[in-house]
Structure 1
Amino acid sequence: MNVAVIGAGVIGATVAARLAQKGAAVTLIEQATPGSGTTSTSYAWINSNGKEPPAYYNLNLAGLQAHMRLSPKDETGWLGLGGHVEFAVDDHHRDNLAARVKRLQGWGYGAEDISPEQAQTLLPDVRLPKGIQRIAHYTDEAYAYPAKYLAFMLTEARQAGVEMRTGVEVTSFEPEGDATALTLSDGSTLRVDKVVSAAGRWTRSVAALAGVDVPVREFTEPGDVVVGYLAVTNPLPVQLSRLITSPWLNVRPAGGGRLMLQALDLDATADPRNVPDPDSRLARTFLERLRALLANTEGARIETIMVGQRVMPEDGRTIVGPAPNLPWLYVVATHSGITLAPYLGEAIAAELFGEKQDAFEEFRIERFMTDTTYGQPYAPRKPGEQ
């Protein structure tokens, strides 16, 4: 089987590697450089926390478990372990947190209530927010270094014989029975049995070349659900080995003593065409919140501000499966790309080799043909939200 995989982010690279390891002849096509899309601007929180409905929870749990199995335990590993601590300081957030922990415990997920004293032990440098009403510890959650994961997968892909084509785009498809020919922007043509679109936020435009509407949202204005700020600090003498979610700031290690910061309420002005400078008012706000939350951050400065662009299907949930009436086109697009990549890569490869994946049934493209309302698109959960 000859396969073209479009998009060399974490999902595309994993699909390509797993297909090649099963014996397919695979060409991995990337319009820029590997990982230059959403993979490079992700908070990369590995979790199945607050994911609804149960089928989506199970999908994300499979991704979390796949990361735990796959990540090497030495310096080549890409996971930061230690779990995730979430603080609630108002009645609404407290009640939400209590309900979520109870539900997750019922499903066997690693979730527990902890005391301020226990939180201080887990987070030695945290300045506990005033008025804390509840604290949750999600013991099995992690954060990832996406570039390290991608490097691992690209190595596996190369060793399995995947051909990499970078700096080229697909400009057209010419179906030939159950197969197709791709024309690339350099003028070359590639004939394959299957195409896997793992094009992330470009999914809609790639699928449109085949005459298929795959409803993935695109950026239209500042503050869209598909965009959000991430800020990275200079190296700091802070003891932090896990994720923190607070009402004002989310924090995780970013490598080399740096911290990655996220504050979802600030995303209302996020615009990838106008990224604030590291000395901007936005940067100062991030620093004020960081200094209020963590000790030993008086010398903090923002080195980088990014505007991440999320891959967001219209109903917020993963799209995975063959395009209707096009046996040669398989599409995957998901907001949970970092979490799901190792699981989806294996499962998609298996399905393309004839092993139908029952776990995908609620995530096929056909659901949009029967429900054109889609519901509300999923947004990153602010503290206190389901």
Structure 2
Amino acid sequence: MAEHVVVVGAGVYGAAVAAALSRRGAHVSVVEAATPAGGTSGATFSWTNSCGKQPRSYHDLSVAAMAAHRRLAAEVAGSDWYHGGGNLEWAGDDAALARLRAKVAGVLDYGYRARWLDREAVLRLEPDLDPAALPAEEIAYFPDEGWVDPARLVDHLLSVATSRGAELVRDAVTGLDVSGEAVRAVRLSSGDRLATDAMVNCAGPWAAGIAELAGLPLPMRNTRGVLVHTSPVAVGISRVVHAPEVHLRPDRADRVLLHSEEIDGAARVTESGEPDVPPAAVDRVLAAGAALYRGLSAATVASVRVGDRPIPGDGLPVLGRVARLPNFHFAVSHSGATLCVHAGELVAAEVLGEDVGDALAPFRVERLLPAG
């Protein structure tokens, strides 16, 4: 059993892996260069779902992960990070409707709960929606979906880990000492060196850089994501909503979170290297939200968050140990908010020598590496 494990990154994956390792008795050091949940985890729509995910192994992993969120929230008195309520989605044109019909048919074939609602049924769920913004019928409802507050989830998971002796090291990884087909130590920018029996790369969009320190290629195709947080506003939105022009969900303290593909594409990097989103793009996404929920016309923009979404080369998660460096493990993916609790348990179990069967087999990094 690995007695000391270094986890790189304190986002949703790093916190989940650290909590799972600590519960199993390992001594854990979580290395985070910035603020826990301050990177991608703090700039994610954090919709928990398996809505149209392919292949079947990815779908099944996501369904199990959704159940893990519900269990964890039920087990912890006063938990405030997980929110159910389902997801509503409708199309804006014939081509989009054809894609939505195919998605619904596909998930139903997998045994995933979905059903079609008409306008009146949707308004019973979301009475503040403007009826004129809804089609008369063919509005898809996925009742088992929901969302998490990633910062509060990370707070809980790190609290679990630190209460069992884990340490949070606020530093950056600059190197790895590798010999005899094992990582022996993690070197930090402060000059410190953490000797280790195993390490887990939970560095999100920076995971390829950490892997490179061990001589491991990790093909990534990260994308930029933008979220708009409103001021507190008297709008009764109770669940995730995917409308043609905007995606919405509740946010903490009576705020609303908005996202759109258009605003993702509008984000740019300034000459100083800082992310920037044109005000006109922010105004458009807020106006699209107000066209659905009239109360949002009174909202102002409280903040705009820009983050890099970590997406491995083929779009699927990279999880578990590396064959040629068996004490180096990955927990990297898009959909980390959905997968983190369940996948974190699987990765932690494998780190400590437990048999997880074939659960991680479709997601190992070797599928992305050159043959030979």
Q: Same fold (TM over 0.5)?
A: yes
Query: Partner residue of 2:199?
Result: 195
Query: Partner residue of 1:323?
Result: 322
How big is the alpha-carbon RMSD for the aligned residues of Structure 1 and Structure 2? Answer: 1.8
Distance across 2 between alignment mates of 1:371 and 1:138: 40
Query: Partner residue of 1:382?
Result: none
Query: Partner residue of 1:262?
Result: 259
Query: Partner residue of 2:67?
Result: 65
Deviations 1:137-172 (A, max 9, x none): 110100110011111101100111111111x11211
Give the letter aligned to residue 146 of structure 2: A
Query: Partner residue of 1:276?
Result: 277
Question: Structure 2 stretches of 5 or more lacking a match?
Answer: none
Query: Partner residue of 1:286?
Result: 285
Residue among 224, 229, 234 paired with 1:232: 229
Residue among 140, 146, 149 paired with 1:145: 149
Contact 2:287 2:297 in 1 (8 A): no
Q: Which runs of 4+ in 1 moved over 6 A?
A: none
Give the letter aligned to residue 39 of structure 1: S
1:169 aligns with 2:166: no
Distance across 2 between alignment mates of 1:347 and 1:149: 18
1:77 aligns with 2:80: yes
Deviations 1:323-366 (A, max 9, x none): 23112211221001110110011111111222134121111111
Relative distance call for 1:234 and 1:54 in structure 2 (3 A) is same
Distance across 1 between alignment mates of 2:344 and 2:134: 44
SS at match of 1:228: strand
Residue among 2, 7, 10 paired with 2:4: 2
Deviations 1:263-317 (A, max 9, x none): 113322212534237xx21222122212211122221211111222101111111
Contact 1:87 1:245 in 2 (8 A): yes
Distance across 2 between alignment mates of 1:83 and 1:356: 30
Query: Partner residue of 1:22?
Result: 24
Instruction: Report the alpha carbon displacement of residue 14 of structure 1 after superposing the two structures with TM.
Output: 1.1
Distance across 2 between alignment mates of 1:87 and 1:315: 27
Deviations 1:186-220 (A, max 9, x none): 111111110111111110111111111111235xx
Comparing 317-326 and 199-208, the one that deviates more: 317-326
Relative distance call for 1:242 and 1:196 in structure 2 (3 A) is same
Comparing 100-109 and 58-67, the one that deviates more: 100-109
SS at match of 2:245: coil
Instruction: Report the alpha carbon displacement of residue 74 of structure 1 after superposing the two structures with TM.
Output: 5.5
Contact 2:174 2:189 in 1 (8 A): yes
Distance across 1 between alignment mates of 2:97 and 2:129: 19
Aligned runs of 1:118-129 on 2, under 5 Å?
Answer: 118-128=121-131, 129=133
Distance across 2 between alignment mates of 1:33 and 1:101: 39
Residue among 55, 58, 61 paired with 2:57: 55
Give the letter aligned to residue 160 of structure 2: E
Deviations 1:217-257 (A, max 9, x none): 35xxxxxxx11221111111111110111111111001111
Distance across 1 between alignment mates of 2:146 and 2:226: 20
Query: Partner residue of 2:295?
Result: 296
Instruction: Report the alpha carbon displacement of residue 132 of structure 1 after superposing the two structures with TM.
Output: 4.9
Identical columns (%) = 34
Question: Structure 1 stretches of 5 or more lacking a match?
Answer: 219-225, 373-386
Query: Partner residue of 1:250?
Result: 247
User: Hey, which of these two has a bigger chunk of helix by percent?
Assistant: 2
Query: Partner residue of 1:378?
Result: none
Q: What TM-score results when the alignment is normalised by the length of structure 1?
A: 0.89
Query: Partner residue of 1:376?
Result: none
1:106 aligns with 2:109: yes
